[in-house]
Amino acid sequence: MSCVIVVGTQWGDEGKGKVVDLLTQHADVVVRFQGGNNAGHTLVVGKDRFILHLIPSGILHPEKVCLIGNGVVVDLEVLHKEITALRERGLQVGPGNLGLSEKAHLILPYHRHLDIARETAKGAASLGTTGRGIGPCYEDKVARNGLRVIDLMDEEVFKHKVETNLKEKNFLFEHFLKVSPLNPRDILDTYRPLADFIRPYVTNVSLRIDQAFQEKKKVLFEGAQGTHLDIDHGTYPYVTSSNPLAGSVCTGAGLGPLKIKSVLGITKAYTTRVGGGPFPTELFDELGEALREKGGEYGATTGRPRRCGWLDAVVLKDSVRLNSLSHLAVTKLDVLTGFKTLKICTGYTWQGRVFDHVPAQLQVLENCQPLYEEWEGWSESLRGIHKKEDLPPQTQNYLKRIEALAQVPIGIISVGPERDETLHLSNPFAV
């Protein structure tokens, strides 16, 4: 039995999808354990480009089993479209290789309606959410008003809960947010065929994972977003509504912590962020624009331009501590080609105080100034390089410094979007 968790070390969009796709060749089962369709994983296979929002990235390998855990909040309209689109492109997607937890909570139309109405009402103070209903769904889950996949399997139970929840939601829509109410009949009519469609996929994911462990199979866990969007440990309130940390695998998929053997943290060779919130190393000049354009830094889910900046080792070191990272995967290293000088943030200053960790107080973090080291850049293309020793000396020095600051070895280096543009220095399943 072997178990590997893949997590993001920044604010999401680190390239987890590509890494999971590559590691799937070593795995038997791939499990998504938190988040919703506010996350998008982009996979490039030859001339084909796939963007997945809910289905684990391992689905491109038809012989593998992919599972969506109970910690994921699921918009069934999105999942239906995703399954259908993959099938239309010739991929094998069915109950034989895809399972959905019966305990996963459902994102319903009133969650999306509430999400958008709240953001609109906040105006300039909005958090920059995707408007996908993720937060409101997690709210209902914690308030014990949520609807789970298993509820959808009984039409009368589903009908009763939708009608009950809408009484409260519609009052909020009409009298506080001043938007139109929703008709429960419309929701029921939409979800009746979705229930029939999804029924064959519904399963007990925790039991499936335990069975895989008993059979000595290799299980790969895939997180969404990144460490610093964690609802507890991120840059609150500019965070997601779940826990993207490695530890939440236990609750989000249903296994005990002693099963965890290895945690791989994905970090871009620079840093990006989508939406609002503090970002100490953000670049507002032509260098930031160059990173955005060279890296194609636009959201896979929303298309929004990502904010770009230099690599933040303070953020990275916090992620190492919070996730117990055993290895790093450095992605988009090729994007830095052509920059004469590179910078790495090693600390923050604020009113004469130096921070080697991310301060919790938002007002402090927003006014922190980064402390930078400068490193010589390189002009040689990294595309087509397959050995670490063939990288330019300046590139190798940059990577060595990342390892030294994080105190974690680099196991994977991505030098391009294609599958074969990856340097595999170690196999996390062998740890």
Q: Which helix (H) or strand (E) holds 429?
A: none
Nearest one of 207, 164, 210 to 187, comparing CA atoms: 164
Q: Quote the CA–CA distance of 58 and 67 in Å, as a whole number.
A: 10
Q: Quote the CA–CA distance of 315 and 358 in Å, as a whole number.
A: 7
Q: Which two tokens stand for residue 248?
A: 């939440």
Q: Is 357 a catalytic residue?
A: no
Instruction: Give long-range contacts, CB 8 A cutoff, 24+ apart: 176-180.
Output: 177/114, 177/117, 177/118, 177/121, 179/113, 179/117
Alpha helical stretches, state H, 89-154? 109-122, 134-142, 149-152
Contact status, residue 212 vs residue 205, Cβ threshold 8 Å? no
Identified catalytic residue from 21, 41, 115, 228: 41
Radius of gyration of the chain (CA): 22
Q: Which helix (H) or strand (E) holds 88?
A: helix 76-88
> 110-140: string of b/e by CB count within 10 Å (b at 16+)?
bbbbbbbbbbeeeeeeeeebbbbbbbbbbeb
250: phi then psi, degrees, rounded to nearest 5: -60, -45
Q: Which two tokens stand for residue 17?
A: 């999808």
Q: Quote the CA–CA distance of 290 and 348 in Å, as a whole number.
A: 24
Q: Is 26 a catalytic residue?
A: no
Bridge-based pairing state of the strands 327-331 and 262-268? parallel
Q: Rounded to the nearest 10 degrees, how much is the dihedral formed by the CA atoms of 87, 61, 243, 71?
A: 60
- E strands, 234-321, where? 262-268, 271-273, 307-309, 311-312
Q: Quote the CA–CA distance of 417 and 333 in Å, as a whole number.
A: 10
Q: Quote the CA–CA distance of 149 and 194 in Å, as a whole number.
A: 11
Q: Which two tokens stand for residue 228?
A: 């610093």
Q: Which two tokens stand for residue 283?
A: 């670049």
Active-site residues, by number, are 13, 41
